[in-house]
Chains A and B, each alone.
Chain A
Amino acid sequence: MKTFSIGGVHPAENKLSAGSPIRVAGLPKQAVFSMYQHIGAPAKPVVKRGDMVKVGTLLGEAGGFVSAPIYSSVSGKVSKVDVALDASGTRRMAVYVDVDGDEWEDTIDRSPELVKLADRPELDATTIVEKIKTAGIVGLGGATFPCHVKLTPPPGQKADCVIINAVECEPYLTADHRLMLEHPEETLVGVQLIMKAVNVQKGFIGIENNKPDAISLMKEKAAQYPGIEIVPLKVKYPQGGEKQLIDAVVGRQVPAPPAIPINVGAVVQNVGTAFAIYEAVMKNKPLIDRIITVTGKSLQQPSNLLARLGTPFQQLVDECGGLPEDTGKIIGGGPMMGKALISLEVPMTKGSSGLLIMNDKEAKRSEPQPCIRCAKCVSACPMGLEPYLLAAQSARQMWDEAEKNDIVSCIECGSCAFTCPSHRPLLDNVRLGKSTVMGIIRARNAKK
């Protein structure tokens, strides 16, 4: 069975919510829409206090090409446009909407019927990309990179295949798994749309073989969609990393930055993104909700919720039985790459793939011990880096040396820190080094 070639680790899977069907979460009393829900320029608020909005009303327009608009997921009145605490842990510009009823914009088609690509022959690549751009779709795997940018290859570059990331290699998370089980056809139409947008004939959907039900169902359904192939993959973290997935599925290596997947002819999108693209193009529905896994060993009812963006995490936790008493850490995202939250006031954003409640025993980090030079981090690193060295260089502020050792190639997957028997905070230091070195490189390029 296929998998990526370098490094990788095997964290305990803990897919507690794999068997629980997607539930629709209730409407919040107040929804908060951060203007920073994607990578790139923040959205610019276009509403003001007192404005009435419906589900699907534009709240913030894209702040540039690498940016995405933000739509209201609720109907009601804008109570203020002010800073709000978001998942990044800082206060940033957001729009607050007091919810009143559930009125949708008329343009959105809310019927559940499947619309196939053959039903809409007028759609061409430009229209699809334009619709995706207008709908504010970003990579829903967690990186939140604006989708239309990836579907607009730079001049001279041509993709020859689309790879759909349905591996869900993060432990605990099951949102993509449930999506494939409950909306397989919509997802496949979404994949077709992506293929049409970048004008390729071949699409692969990579699924890890810890989801046999999803693999067999998707294989069965994909038979009717020519060009789409389901690729079962061996379970290994971080297979969901863009470069790792390309390596696993088509066996191509993406060179070190600034090279991007399109340089090896691949366009990678998350399976959740494919579903959102289907809804945006076929149903005219902007990105206003997503599936989020709310899970944890002590949580009463680990669930997959279809929740509106802007819903405070507190409400989602309440719907799953409330915050357990032994909570040690709350993580936005999965346990490997997610970010600890400082408060449950934080609203859900486009990138919220999971909400993990760790109990105090799991959450406790062990005291770091001296490095014993076992090189486990080196063999675990999926990018072939030397994490112990990069961490030491970052801690000593040796930025030039860290740059020479390719610190910017780090994908921050955390395999090094996970595997370290001395519990050294390797990723903490490498991440600091990476952001500093990237700042230095940007400054240097700006000078030129």
Chain B
Amino acid sequence: MELIQYALDNLELLTSRTIEHIALVGVAVGIATLTGVPIGIAITKNERVAKAVLYVASIIVTVPSIALFGIMIPVLSLIGQGIGYLPAVIAVLLYSQLPIIRNTYTAIHNVDPALREAARGIGMSQNQRLRMVEIPLAVPVIMAGVRTAVVLNIGVMAIAAYIGAGGLGTFISRGISQSDPRQLIVGAVAVSLLAIIVDYSLLAIQKRLTPKGMERAAETA
């Protein structure tokens, strides 16, 4: 009861922190999609490059977020942005690369060779093949990668409160430093709920973006 009361009393703050959180993750994953999808497509042309890129992306994900923030402080301090918004966005951007690149690569790589041959045989250029066939077919899997990135990084972004990036993580960090379980729990629950809700919303978008003729195939994927 006490918790609900606290949440209601601080509804305005809770709302603005949630929006802040969504904005941070949204911008970062948005940029990550714009970079990750082209990289994922590009590396389908060369298996060795693909392996190397995916390897690097995997290593990045293994670096703990706290450590990543720590590393970025001296580097970004050079441009006066050691803490706050920029390092938070960069961290999420880096973490998002693996799921997005990997899913894009896998999706394009796994397009039925018969379709690729048909597309070549009727005279599509490489770009036409990508635009008319391969990317539309890959969209559901690419979107699944974006979803993974978003959910993963809603958690990461909570920690970014420690470097002053704002977001729902501030409730948690304050809760710990002030030994206030109400703030701690409200923050944690809010982060979890946000992750679940966003995941479902993106799933709805994913279904809408799935080409109509593939709905049956996409449901089993």
Partners in one complex: no
Interface residues of A (CB under 8 A from B): none
